[in-house]
A and B are shown apart, each in its own frame.
Chain A
Amino acid sequence: MAVIKKFKAVKISQNHLLGVQDLTYSEVSYILDEAKTFIKLNKSTSKKTDALRGKTQINLFFEPSTRTQSSFELAGKRLGADVMSMNIVNSAIKKGETLIDTAMTLNAMHPDIIVVRHQDSGAPNLLSQKVNCSVINAGDGRREHPTQALLDALTIINRRGKVEGLKIAICGDILHSRVARSNIYLMNMLGAEINVVAPKTLLPHSIERLGVKVFTDMKKGLDNCDIVMMLRLQNERMQGSFLPSAREYYEYFGLTPDKMEVAKKDALIMHPGPMNRGVEIDTNLADDINRSVIKEQVELGVAVRMACLKIYCKKM
């Protein structure tokens, strides 16, 4: 990404990272450039910097999360911030306190940055209006998961040099997926061509208006693709009336070696995790070290989150 150098001086215009939709191309480049500097650090024996020494980071997770929460926690700690993770299950929210009241309470403790995940779309936006620090969206409802899309972009750039000109297929439960939405915005911005592949019941209304081609046949959607992004199919969707069965879903929409054959020979397989092996992805494909970059996504996730924390912490 030679272009990054040119935009080095660019600063972020917003105080909060609420979604990819709010970012500009140069801001994305700036974040990814910053993230690259942390990749090496994360592999070294001494992983700690003092970029955020004296800063307080609060992780506010209203939805259970293992990887995103630990990724943000580790990112903050490696930057030298004091990190506190709020366990919502035992908190006042369960006793009926509103999001705004929780925000006010936390705000009184003078955090420098709040990382929030919430089941309701738009919750981080509401929170950001009520606190004096930066807010980073770690996933809200079906709306956005910006750091996931950024880490996906970094993973692709790390392997392919750039996103521009690549053909990316995003497959599975697009309807309920914030990862899909953030990736559609980001990969479009970075110049990729995007196919979405899903059964019609798992496609959101007017999705083509977001700048994607829509397919309901895996082999057509994956044809000549450089990147295949699989999405998690949540078990509860299986019990609703979205799909007849997991078996049928796997037959038509699960990523299997024969379906992968239509993609480019060196196509990469991505997944935001956690995976349902045998439901949306063949277990051998998921572990194929030549094609699957799923572990790398997790690794680079820490670097991207370090970059975001550093940049947005300094914004306020």
Chain B
Amino acid sequence: MKEKYLINARIIDPKKQIDEFGGLIIDINGKIKAVGKKVSNGNLPSGIDKIDLKKHILIPGIVDMRVFVGEPGYEYKENFRTLSNAALSGGVTSVVSMPNTLPVIDNVSMVDFLKRRGRDKSKINIYPAASLTRNAEGKQMTEFGLLKKKGIIAFTDGVKTIQDPQVMSRIMNYAGESDALIMQHAEDNILSSGGLINEGEISTRLGLKGIPSLAEKIIVERDLSFLEEYHCKYHISQISSKKTLSIIKKAKEEGKIFSTGVSINNLSLNENDIGDFRTFLKLSPPLRTEEDRLSLIKAIDEDLVEVIVSDHKPEDEESKRLTFAKAATGATGIETLLPLALELFHNGSLKLNKIIASLTSNPAKILNIDKGNLEIGSDADLCIFDINKPWVVNKGELLSKSKNTPIEDRKLQGQIIKTFIKGEIAFERA
């Protein structure tokens, strides 16, 4: 590999608190050699090839903490190759994949398989999460120690919540020892049983059983109580309601250490978007009220919520062409994660730096991985985007194998131009 010289970019790295015009040099090993305003056309020897980024924004490659891939078992929804292509076109260079596959990722031999497949078929960095419990059944905990030894950095039952308080307390107690990151999807199954959308006026009008926000709050409240007794690395995968935020705020004020994520869907859509039974907006956690959405945005601004995820969940069209009750839950979103997040910048809801931090340095810090930054010596995983480019989401043009985008026809502003993985251009928009 030859050295590469990227010049004339606005460089933003929330970890190093950089926001300046300059360039970046990639060394022959694909690592960052130099970065910042000193890397400019004038300071570089003439006669070498330079990549002019035309004042576009250069950030660390995005780290997406919640992504579903269909391998093994659901390859028809998404495989590593299609996920990788979709991610790269969205500027995402690292993902944490959820263990809800067939079979569930709950033992070391599955991890070997995943790592091999991921390495052979995809360009992006894949960090598989293993399940917290065997077969994600919420009963018997998995081998955190052995799995960690194999390189697993996060544990979660993915779409499922550990319901049994005794099992959860033991997981948190045991995991504290091994320093494993525990990620919980917060939903009380009994309270949300049969629920399809947010409980409220819309669910009453559509005649769909509601999911109360209490179902989320109660699990968060429970787990944060356990955290007083058992110190482990605890992360709430996604929250959706204002009620939960009040609990998080209180816990942070008490000095509890944990982290929280939110799906881009809950920041950009609300329950009204479901309209006339649009199954593509059947999500978990559900889309809630506008008041909830606004409170989540404010929570990012106030650092109560640290991470924005795509919650990319590919589902084939057949499983969405059903009645709302029978349709599959989830939406794709890895390709539109950054552009949709930029909407929050363009409409004045959030500062650009906050958005970028929630997509890069914050998740990397929680996962304890050397990604999501532009440190000298780090892998040159980069995302370069045009912050103003207008475009319209068209599912036919998206690269994910499944086309269940919740924002078909949405007009967005901001598009990824180039994505680098380990110093190589892995995606380039024509």
Q: For the complex, what is the distance from the CA of A120 to the CA of B282, rounded to whole Å? A: 15
Q: For the complex, what is the distance from the CA of A142 to the CA of B323, rounded to whole Å? A: 13
Q: For the complex, what is the distance from the CA of A141 to the CA of B204, rounded to whole Å? A: 11
Residues of B316-331 whose CB lies within 8 A of A: 318, 321-326
| Cross-chain contact B207 with A207 (CB below 8 angstroms) | no
| Cross-chain contact A122 with B206 (CB below 8 angstroms) | yes
| Cross-chain contact A204 with B325 (CB below 8 angstroms) | no
Task: Tell me whether A141 and B201 are in contact in the complex, defined as CB-CB below 8 angstroms, given that A100-B321, A120-B326, A121-B325 are known contacts.
Answer: no
Task: Tell me whether A205 and B201 are in contact in the complex, defined as CB-CB below 8 angstroms, given that A118-B323, A121-B207, A141-B208 are known contacts.
Answer: yes
Separation in Å of the B279 CB from the closest CB of chain A?
9
Q: Mark A176-207, 1 if CB is under 8 A from B, else 0.
A: 00100100000000000000000000001111
| Cross-chain contact B204 with A98 (CB below 8 angstroms) | no
Considering the complex, give the chain B residue whose CB is closest to the CB of A177: B207
Q: For the complex, what is the distance from the CA of A204 to the CA of B201, rounded to whole Å? A: 8
Separation in Å of the A59 CB from the closest CB of chain B?
19
Separation in Å of the B206 CB from the closest CB of chain A?
6
Separation in Å of the B203 CB from the closest CB of chain A?
6
Check: A140 CB closer than 8 A to any chain B CB.
yes
Check: A23 CB closer than 8 A to any chain B CB.
no
Residues from chain A with a CB closer than 8 A to the CB of B326 are 120
Q: For the complex, what is the distance from the CA of A206 to the CA of B205, rounded to whole Å? A: 10
Q: Mark A256-286, 1 if CB is under 8 A from B, else 0.
A: 0000000000000000000000000000000
Considering the complex, give the chain A residue whose CB is closest to the CB of B203: A205
| Cross-chain contact B325 with A205 (CB below 8 angstroms) | no
| Cross-chain contact B277 with A205 (CB below 8 angstroms) | no
Considering the complex, give the chain B residue whose CB is closest to the CB of A203: B204
| Cross-chain contact A120 with B323 (CB below 8 angstroms) | yes
Residues of B398-413 whose CB lies within 8 A of A: none
Residues from chain A with a CB closer than 8 A to the CB of B199 are 205
Residues from chain B with a CB closer than 8 A to the CB of A125 are 276-277
Considering the complex, give the chain A residue whose CB is closest to the CB of B319: A98
Q: What is the total of A-B residue contacts with beta carbons within 8 Å?
A: 68
| Cross-chain contact A121 with B201 (CB below 8 angstroms) | no
Separation in Å of the B105 CB from the closest CB of chain A?
29
| Cross-chain contact B206 with A121 (CB below 8 angstroms) | yes
Task: Tell me whether A98 and B322 are in contact in the complex, defined as CB-CB below 8 angstroms, given that A205-B199, A206-B200, A209-B201 are known contacts.
Answer: yes
Contact of A99 among B200, B208, B209, B323 (CB under 8 A): B323
Contact of A205 among B210, B276, B321, B323 (CB under 8 A): B210
Q: For the complex, what is the distance from the CA of A125 to the CA of B201, rounded to whole Å? A: 19
Q: For the complex, what is the distance from the CA of A98 to the CA of B328, rounded to whole Å? A: 13
| Cross-chain contact B207 with A144 (CB below 8 angstroms) | yes
Residues from chain B with a CB closer than 8 A to the CB of A143 are 205-208
| Cross-chain contact B204 with A204 (CB below 8 angstroms) | yes
- Residue in A21, A118, A141 whose Cβ sees the most chain B Cβ within 10 Å: A141
| Cross-chain contact A122 with B203 (CB below 8 angstroms) | no
Q: Mark A214-226, 1 if CB is under 8 A from B, else 0.
A: 0000000000000
Contact of B323 among A122, A181, A206 (CB under 8 A): A122
Q: For the complex, what is the distance from the CA of A206 to the CA of B326, rounded to whole Å? A: 25
| Cross-chain contact A98 with B324 (CB below 8 angstroms) | no
Residues from chain A with a CB closer than 8 A to the CB of B277 are 121-122, 125-126
Separation in Å of the A270 CB from the closest CB of chain B?
21
Contact of B201 among A118, A140, A206 (CB under 8 A): A206
Separation in Å of the B166 CB from the closest CB of chain A?
23
Separation in Å of the A24 CB from the closest CB of chain B?
18
Q: For the complex, what is the distance from the CA of A84 to the CA of B199, rounded to whole Å? A: 38
| Cross-chain contact A120 with B324 (CB below 8 angstroms) | yes
10 residue pairs bridging A and B, Cβ less than 8 Å apart: A21-B205, A118-B323, A120-B326, A121-B325, A122-B208, A122-B323, A126-B322, A142-B208, A205-B210, A206-B200
Known: A99-B322, A143-B208. 17 other contacts (CB 8 A): A98-B322, A99-B323, A120-B324, A121-B277, A122-B206, A123-B323, A126-B277, A141-B208, A143-B207, A178-B207, A181-B204, A181-B205, A181-B207, A206-B204, A207-B204, A209-B204, A210-B205
- A-B pairs, top 10 by smallest CB distance, nearest first, are A143-B207, A121-B207, A142-B207, A120-B323, A122-B277, A206-B201, A204-B204, A120-B325, A209-B201, A123-B323
User: A: which residues have CB within 8 A of B?
Assistant: 21, 98-100, 118-123, 125-126, 140-144, 178, 181, 204-207, 209-210
User: B: which residues have CB within 8 A of A?
Assistant: 199-201, 203-210, 212, 276-277, 318, 321-326
